[in-house]
């Protein structure tokens, strides 16, 4: 599974000195364009951005078919037997009535994913190996933004040079998903420093896994993973060192809400995304967490993400969770499903027009 100044006079002068008239105009136009599209297409198929997708082989999570319950029941483990038996038992003999079953072939994972994306008008940030990402992009032109599955210390570690080259060639739009947490590597680990510096220099958005993976993942092979690494505060030193970095926290630092709110308060450039927690967490609990973010005033920095992995059906169930949220206004739902990602990714007016016409 596959993170002010107290003086208004000083603040005002800082804003004034850093603001260029052109930028202000562009921002105003961007808001206007989104507003017009929302009005014009209120009853049509409005676009959705999924900030968390994976081009994954059908067997990447275990031998298919595998069931995903939405929500996923928390396992109860008797350590007399290996945890993997308990964990896989849920996926082979699910306890829910309507699990999403994973397809048996790679082709079917792709086909089902694209079918849902076309039907629901979804554009997605696609993580994976460079080969598989380009294969999926060829299969569905215009539906994906190329990402890269990245982790320090294994076969998913790519050199800064290669990343710069991919970005220059248009083969990398977002460096995501960075999954160092599974290897017990904190965001501010010195081995990550060249990558943060590069992303800042290239203005390349980064999505980093901070929050939940599979329950009990320490006992599924990620022996360095630690629960305390779910805290969004682990990202803080990176943000201070690289103030121009565009970064979003994949899995939203769940469940450590207070840490997340403190980070969002102190670092207004940071966005979050709700991949996997949106469909595995029981709705009352997910809604409590999401509402904690929106009630605190950060609704403009929450982005939709599914983290679909080998269960394409979870994309639509995840959209439904947002659409059903009783505490969100229609405007807040559109912000989460599209507008916030459009701003974070700096979509052009042409991009936005294309997404609305797809």
Q: By C-beta, is 52 or 356 nearer to Zn ion?
A: 52
Which residue number is nearest to Zn ion in terms of Cβ?
Answer: 209
Which one of 147-155, 201-209, 323-331, 344-352 is the stretch in contact with Zn ion (CB under 5 A)? 201-209
Least distance (Å) between residue 181 CB and Zn ion: 8
Q: In the bound complex, what is the minimum distance in angstroms from residue 251's beta carbon to Zn ion?
A: 6
Q: Closest distance between Zn ion and the C-beta of residue 149, in Å?
A: 10
Total residues at interface with Zn ion (CB under 5 A): 1
Asked if residue 209 binds Zn ion (CB under 5 A), the reply is: yes
CA dihedral 59, 63, 66, 68 (to 10 degrees): -60
Closer residue to Zn ion, CB minimum distance, 47 or 214 = 214
The Cα 325–Cα 287 span in angstroms is 7
Q: Considering beta carbons, is residue 234 or 332 the nearer one to Zn ion?
A: 234
For residue 124, give every residue at least 6 positions away whose Cβ sits within 8 Å of its Cβ, in sequence order, or none. 49, 50, 51, 52, 53, 117, 143, 144, 145
Q: Which stretch binds Zn ion (CB under 5 A): 128-136, 150-158, 206-214, 340-348?
A: 206-214
Cβ proximity to Zn ion, 143 vs 209, nearer residue = 209
Residue whose CB is less far from Zn ion, 273 or 335? 273
Nearer to Zn ion, 209 or 317 (CB): 209
Q: How many CB atoms lie within 10 A of CB 278?
A: 30
Contact 293, 285 (CB under 8 A): no
- Per CB under 5 A, the segment of 54-62, 103-111, 166-174, 208-216 that binds Zn ion is 208-216
Pair 109, 61: CB distance under 8 Å = no
Span of 29-37, 196-204, 207-215, 221-229 interacting with Zn ion by CB under 5 A: 207-215
**For Zn ion, which stretch binds (CB under 5 A), given 24-32, 185-193, 203-211, 219-227?**
203-211
Give the orientation angle of helix 349-357 with respect to helix 21-40, to 10 degrees. 10
Binding to Zn ion (CB under 5 A): which residues in 229-258? Answer: none
Q: Which of residues 42-81 bind Zn ion (CB under 5 A)?
A: none
| Three-class SS of 286-344 | HHHHHHHHHHCCCHHHEECCCCCCCCCHHHHHHHHHHHHCCCCCHHHHHHHHHHHHHHH
Please identify, using beta-carbon distances, which residue of 214 and 313 lies nearer to Zn ion: 214
Question: What are the Cα distances from residue 31, in Å, to 28, 53, 243, 314, 339?
Answer: 5, 27, 24, 30, 9
The phi-psi region of residue 267 (left if phi > 0; otherwise alpha if psi is between -120 and 50; otherwise beta) is: beta
CB 229 to Zn ion: min, Å: 12
Instruction: Sort strands 247-250 and 206-209 into parallel, antiparallel or unpaired.
Output: parallel
In the complex, which residues of this chain contact Zn ion (CB under 5 A)?
209
């Amino acid at each position: 599974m596959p993170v002010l100044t107290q003086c208004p006079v000083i603040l005002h002068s800082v804003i004034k000195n850093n603001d260029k008239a052109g930028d202000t105009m562009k921002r105003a136009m961007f808001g206007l364009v989104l507003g017009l599209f929302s009005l014009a297409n209120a009853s049509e198929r409005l676009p959705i951005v999924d900030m968390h997708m994976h081009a994954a082989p059908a067997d990447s999570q275990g031998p298919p078919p595998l069931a995903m319950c939405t929500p996923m029941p928390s396992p109860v483990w008797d350590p007399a037997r290996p945890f993997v038996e308990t964990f896989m038992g849920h996926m082979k003999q699910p306890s829910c009535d309507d699990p999403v079953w994973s397809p048996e072939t790679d082709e079917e994972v792709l086909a089902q994913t694209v079918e849902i994306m076309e039907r629901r008008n979804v554009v997605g940030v696609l993580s994976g190996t460079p080969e598989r990402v380009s294969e999926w992009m060829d299969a569905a032109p215009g539906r994906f933004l190329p990402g890269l599955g990245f982790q320090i210390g294994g076969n998913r570690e790519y050199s800064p040079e290669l990343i710069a080259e991919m970005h220059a060639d248009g083969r990398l739009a977002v460096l995501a998903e960075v999954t160092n947490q599974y290897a017990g590597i904190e965001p501010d680990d010195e081995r990550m420093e060249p990558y943060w510096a590069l992303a800042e220099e290239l203005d390349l958005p980064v999505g980093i896994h901070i929050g939940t993976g599979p329950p009990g993942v320490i006992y599924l092979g990620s022996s360095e993973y630690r629960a305390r690494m779910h805290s969004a505060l682990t990202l803080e030193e990176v943000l201070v060192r690289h103030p121009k970095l565009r970064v979003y926290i994949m899995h939203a630092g769940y469940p450590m809400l207070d840490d997340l709110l403190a980070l969002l308060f102190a670092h207004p450039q940071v966005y979050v995304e709700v991949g996997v927690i949106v469909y595995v967490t029981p709705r009352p609990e997910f809604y409590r967490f999401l509402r904690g973010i929106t009630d605190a005033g950060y609704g403009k920095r929450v982005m939709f993400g599914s983290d679909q992995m080998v269960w394409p059906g979870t994309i639509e169930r995840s959209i439904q969770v947002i659409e059903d949220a009783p505490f969100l206004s229609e405007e807040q739902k559109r912000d989460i499903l599209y507008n916030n990602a459009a701003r974070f990714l700096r979509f052009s007016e042409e991009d936005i027009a294309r997404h609305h016409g797809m």
